[in-house]
Structure 1
Amino acid sequence: MSIEIKNKVALVTGANRGIGKAIVKSFLNHGAKKVYLAVRNPESTAELEKQYGDQVVTLEADLADAASIKRLAEQAQDVDVVVNNAGVLAVSSPLDEKAEASLAYEFDINVYGLLRVAQSFAGILEGNQGALVQLNSVASIKNFADLSTYSASKAASYSLTQGLREKLGKKGVAVVSVHPGPIDTEMAAGAGFEQTDAPSSVSEAIVTALEAEEFHVFPDVMAKQFESAYQSFAENIVLADFSE
């Protein structure tokens, strides 16, 4: 189902900075009626509120807290497009002493957080015939040794996104899986990436994917290299119907 963002109501987790902030701006620039800014610290969206006024509504939310996400859904019953952008990264190789703690931390937000959002908003998105957009990563299909636990969490979230595509798709809900490479954000800087693409490369690609009914989105320079190599597997395995 093609979804044009114009006149739609959207919700973006982690909307106060980086890719999330870029998504908010792109959606509003493309005519979104309203965007909910779902963040842990409501004061962090002051700049966006000043810029966009009543086009944005800040809501407090914590992906680590299931009750918080249920409350979020109760406050955003009119939402058409949910973008689960918020995520965490702990630089950790599989041999680090902190690897187990890092994995638990990243799974709680990057994997269980996705489940909490998807389950809380499934009924709303079905009723509004909307879309769920999940920010995964190129690390979801290749493990980077110094980011091993993060890569594992994103591989798990990508797998869940595939399941959500099948289940929500039957209910008329579009699902989009976004796989950026290094993007100019605080997270990428903390991970040590020096060559990055602009967050707007991701946000604009999401707008395009929603209209084009695309599941996979590889928005930036590095991601497109993954896309060309991954395309055959994606088409013949990930997107294939094995039910027959």
Structure 2
Amino acid sequence: MPVLLLSDIHGNITALDAVLRHAQRHDYDRVVFLGDAVGYYPDGDAVIERLRALGARGVMGNHDAWLLTVEVLEGQGYVFDILRWQAERLGEENRAWLAALPWTIEEEGMLAVHGSPCDPFVYVDDLDLAREGFGCTEARWVFHGHTHLAGAFTALDGPSGPWVRYKPLPEPENVVKVGPKARAMINPGSVGQPRDGVPQAGYGIWNEEAREVRVYRVPFDLDAVAQRVREVGFPPVLYQRLYKGR
């Protein structure tokens, strides 16, 4: 059965709800979350509540890890100020769920990780880093987030190492077909803060039987998010960048 892929929600409950409404058209049977439930936008607690209600299996993102240790971190600036604000408002059950997230999920032929298969904190945003990532796992399907860029790296073994190519996924519906001898490292895009110039939430549907992943871009109420950011006094740059998809 197909799997719903969610990543980098970052406390943006408006975008997450838009994605979940859109995803109702698909007959998925489970949810895999690729990290960063919290950070940036105000509603991290509500986001985790949704993920728990979905029965999502997830991995730890860097913002998730920072929130859990923010009391001892020396980081300064609005990113850490927001995490401290969210930490004070996180319910105990939701904090426990977040704290229990592993760094990776590994199943037969599949790896889920926030960043690179080599290191969950490393951005996979060029061919060399993707080639290195493929070298750190034997999984045929790798699902990751972290960059906030919806796209797919595919690899095919060659005489001197894997041939790797990249395909951005900016359209309302994007199809990534993976041949029987190929492997793929796919980022379904950020639900809460896209950064590829498309001001729409991203999510994926993985159908292993069909050897494909479909990535969708979904409009959400940008004005509502801007109003929520203003209500809590977070920096305006957070909603200004949403309108640009940056």
Could you state the TM-score of these two structures normalised by the residue count of structure 2?
Answer: 0.35
TM-score between the two structures when normalised by the length of structure 1:
0.35
* Structure that is richer in strand per residue: 2
